[in-house]
Amino acid sequence: MVLHIIGLGLHDEKDITVRGLEIVRQCSRVYLENYTSILMVDSSKLEEFYGVSVTVADREMVESESDKMLEGADKTDVAFLVVGDPFGATTHNDFQLRARELGIPVNVIHNASIMNAVGACGLQLYRFGEAISIVFFIDTWKPDSWYSKMLENRRRGLHTLCLLDIQVKEPSWESLARGTKDYQPPRFMSVRTAIEQLLEVEESRQEGAVSSDLVCVGLARVGCPDQRIVAGTLAELLDVEFGPPLHSLCIPGTVHSVEEEMLNMYKLQTG
């Protein structure tokens, strides 16, 4: 029997591929990974459309109870559902390796993810460099390791996709200090917060990775009917209301004439 790792796409229960849906309906257990990204619908919608029971798997379950999730997968089909594409997060490579170590065959069903759907903004995919992740700052921790990667991309004329922080079922620092786990409400970084943090780090580093007058692209809910894509300077994008999550941000490198024409379609209309 097989562990099936199945991409769900970006929007709702209907973005699954036909092949993926057929496999889900034949599995004895179905898990939904629920921390590297989220669908725009509740898991109950998946259960209704797929016709199976779906167990929501948070970070703790995937990272510390993977053997339990894989139990019996050598005798029956088990599905592990991933928002976007299965390999959009390194966690899923690790899960696959654990299965193979146990002698469990693995079948992967791909789907759209932000890593390719970002092309909707007009920047050509083959001109992107290394993607970066921007996490929420706190008073005592303001990680900026991504800055050097963004700077290198820009020096090479390459675009940068900024993946913005998602915090689902995250324990508070205070509770961890007490040896307990009190979970914070879900948080999803906005384009505005990402820009504020980018400019804060630039002010500190002053190496020229970004500036307030740099034209960039903010994206929200890519792949959904109400997706929003806006191009403008970082200063201008600070005042744009992108609406509900999920958000992303693109920092262009050298822009080709065709890319520039596409970006003009999304530029803020002023005056």
Q: Please name the residues in contact with 266: beta carbons below 8 A apart, sequence gap of 6 or more.
A: 121, 122, 217, 229, 230, 231
Q: Does 148 show up as a binding residue in the annotation?
A: no
83 is in an annotated binding site: no
Running DSSP on this structure, what letter comes out for residue 267?
B
Give me the amino acid identity at 209: A
> Residue written as tokens 């959009």?
88
222 is in an annotated binding site: yes
DSSP-derived letter for residue 182 is: P
**Is 164 a known ligand-binding residue?**
yes
Asked whether the beta carbons of 120 and 227 are under 8 A apart, the reply is: yes
Alpha carbons 245 and 219: distance in angstroms, whole number = 10
- Is 51 annotated in some ligand binding site? no
Which H helix or E strand runs over 20?
A: helix 18-24
Instruction: Confirm whether residue 114 is marked as ligand binding.
Output: yes
CB 129 within 8 A of CB 152: yes
* Residue set of the binding site for S-adenosyl-L-methionine: 10, 85, 88, 113-114, 164, 222, 247
* Residue set of the binding site: 10, 85, 88, 113-114, 164, 222, 247
